[in-house]
Structure 1
Amino acid sequence: MLIDLSEVLSEPHKSIDEVVGTEMKEVKVNGSRFPVSRTQPVHIHVEYAGEKKLHISCETSLTVIIPCDRCLTDVPTDFTLSFEKQVNTALADGEDDGESDEANYIDGYHLDVEQLLYNEILVGWPMKVLCSEDCKGICSVCGQNLNEGSCDCEDTSLDPRMSVIRDLYKNFKEV
């Protein structure tokens, strides 16, 4: 969704206060695609802040389906976005200082709302997603989800040099 900024940047400097929908269907992070299952309308307010600068405030929420880092079960992850930004449109127009991301979502007199939201989702992206705190993960041999049941695979994660001790432990358990 593009918002026209020409009235905000013109001499009378009108502000924009709109509620717009988003067509974001997925989020791409590190080459992976994560579907967006729920979106709320985006409330966005843009006003002139002087010297080719804009003050942008935005509020929305959405839900992204992210697989659990241990068992790969889909986990609905909520993102509540509420932020304010000071944007220098001179930097977006090509006078880039190498540190700003305005050129990413401002193109001339247009504000790309979805790209702005995408940047904020990346900032708030969780380091680790778990379906539950006690998630057991998957078997490294057969791929069985250990939360749904156990498997009959032998635990090969031990050092082969410790096989004698493992055998002693098995014999001890049988007695």
Structure 2
Amino acid sequence: MKISLTKLFVQDGKSEKYEIPLTSETFSIGGQDYRVIEKHPVILGLTHEGNRVITITGSADLTMEIPCARCLTPVATPFQLEFDLQIDLNLSEEEREEKEEDSSFVEGDELDVEELVRNELIVQWPIRVLCKDDCKGICSRCGANLNIQTCDCDTTGLDPRMAAIKDIFSKFKEV
């Protein structure tokens, strides 16, 4: 959903309030698509501070489905996003990069709400998500989810320094 900012530029100090439903069913983070399983409307307040400087305040609540880092089971992860940004639309791309001001969600005189939410998700994205603290993960040999079932795979690890000796003995093994 895009919001036209031209109505705000008419007068310094002019404010607008919006309640915008999220339309995205997925968000792409780090090259992977994650499903939105619960979402509430985005609440935004836009204020023209003067000289094409916009203040954006608001919030968004949504729940994303993120796979467990150990067993890949989908985990419902809630996000409570808060916005408090000031964007100077007079700056060039180089000046914005120099000031480290991210305004990729503003193109021309339009604000892309979905992109604003996506940017805030990236900032708050968890480093790792676990389905439970004691998740056992998956078997590295057969791929079985060890939280659900056990497998009969040999879990004894061979010291890599001894691999050459094991090969020698396996060659001379009697049949």
| TM-score above 0.5 | yes
SS at match of 1:62: strand
Deviation at 1:50, TM superposition (A): 2.8
1:117 aligns with 2:102: no
- Partners of 1:156 and 1:30 lie apart in 2 by 35
Q: How big is the shift at 1:101?
A: 1.7
List structure 1 runs of 4+ shifted beyond 6 angstroms: none
- Give deviations 1:102-144, integer Å, cap 9, x for gaps: 1x11111111111000000000000000000000000000001
1:7/1:15 contact within 8 Å kept? no
Q: Is the 8 A contact 1:24 1:114 kept in 2?
A: yes
Secondary structure of the corresponding residue to residue 37 of structure 1: strand
2:83 equivalent in structure 1: 83
* Aligned partner letter, 1:110: E
Deviates more, 1:137-146 or 1:28-37: 28-37
In the alignment, structure 1 residue 100 sits paired with structure 2 residue 101: yes
Residue 39 to residue 48, structure 1, CA distance change in 2 (3 Å): same
How far apart in 2 are the matches of 1:62 and 1:35?
Answer: 11
Other-structure match for 2:146: 146
Segments of structure 1 that go 5 or more residues without pairing to the other structure are 164-175
CA deviation after TM superposition for structure 1 residue 160, in Å: 4.9
Which residue type is aligned with residue 86 of structure 1? Q
The one-letter amino acid paired with 1:64 is M
Change (3 A) 1:81 1:44: same
Query: Letter of the aligned partner of 2:159 in structure 1?
Result: D
Deviations 1:63-118 (A, max 9, x none): 11000000000001111112211111113x6564322221x111111111110000
Structure 2: 5+ residue stretches without partners: 164-175
Distance 1:33 1:84 in 2: 26
Measure, in 2, the Cα distance between the counterparts of 1:97 and 1:107: 13
- The answer on 1:2 being equivalent to 2:21 is no
Give the CA RMSD over aligned residues: 1.8
* Alpha carbons of structure 1 residues 56 and 161: separation in structure 2 relative to 1, 3 Å: same
1:24-173 alignment, distance < 5 Å? 24-91=24-91, 94=93, 96-98=95-97, 99-102=100-103, 104-161=104-161
Matched length: 161
Cα distance in 2 between the residues matched to 1:150 and 1:14: 63
Q: For the Cα contact (< 8 Å) 2:66–2:75, is it kept in 1? A: yes
Hey, what does 2:173 align to over in structure 1?
none
